[in-house]
Amino acid sequence: MMFITICIPMLSLNKDNLKKVCREYYIRGYSNLKRDDLIEYINRSLMEDEKHEVIKRNEYQIIKKEIDAAFRKVKFQENEKIFSVIVQDKSIKKIETKFKGFNWEIYSQVAINSGNVDDPYRHCDCRIGKNKGFCNHFWIGVIYSLKENYLKASEWTLTALPSDFDQKLSEVKVIKGRKGEKQLVPSSFKKKKLPEPDSKKAKNVTKQWAISSHTDPHKQYTVTLYKNKTWACSCPHWVYRKATCKHIRECQSKQYY
């Protein structure tokens, strides 16, 4: 258990923070070390109580940074988006969250339940996660688990939580996605309904579909097939370039006829 409380926060420190620790504790000979070696070196160089001191001083900052990023992600304010949450094993509350960036994907698995809160199962593709650190993907798993009542917030004693954590937690919710997967979204989020076409236009409309964006599942576009057999979409690609987009093609494919 000691390993967790001491090493994990250290693993989340960036190189500059680690070098700062070296300077503060007059540790020498660190300048050419890589980040991982630096952590190892600091671990060996410091007395136990000094390690505690370092962690205590940096822990909150590290955790807050990652938790803030997690909440920003739920609110669609990050480049990387939460694509879906899938429950992999109900009995141990194991979930897998898929994240999507412009050209990358991250899979993150978390299992937190009342029985393992002091060492929750976690696995993440990202750099911090690979080192068993508490990355923002992990915190997304924590947020989801709290929202689904896999554990109570009062049971979380492994780390301190920012003072606005409860407030931010109340600002997000879990909804069911289109394919039965779960999604973590802001409380104010509403699934888009098809816009009511105005009556004049409606006469010319054969059919309309709401199509999820391929990169951001929370964004939806409306594809319209008009009676004169022309198509339109509400996505930028069509609106600004009048180019047949993925969404129109998706609707044109056989499954919609």
Contact positions toward Zn ion, by CB under 5 A?
Answer: 124, 126, 129, 135, 137, 221, 233, 235, 238, 245, 247
Can you list the positions of beta strands (E) in the chain?
A: 81-89, 94-100, 105-111, 121-124, 172-176, 182-186, 205-212, 220-226, 231-233
Helix (H) or strand (E) holding 194: none
Nearer to Zn ion, 127 or 203 (CB): 127
Nearer to Zn ion, 13 or 124 (CB): 124
Nearer to Zn ion, 120 or 129 (CB): 129
* Minimum separation from the CB atom of position 249 to Zn ion (A): 9
* Minimum separation from the CB atom of position 234 to Zn ion (A): 7
Nearer to Zn ion, 200 or 229 (CB): 229
Q: Are the C-beta atoms of 95 and 141 separated by less than 8 Å?
A: yes
* Minimum separation from the CB atom of position 59 to Zn ion (A): 18
Whole-number Å distance between alpha carbons of 73 and 165: 15
Q: Are the C-beta atoms of 106 and 156 separated by less than 8 Å?
A: no
HSE-CB for 96 with a 13 A CA cutoff: 8
* Minimum separation from the CB atom of position 108 to Zn ion (A): 5
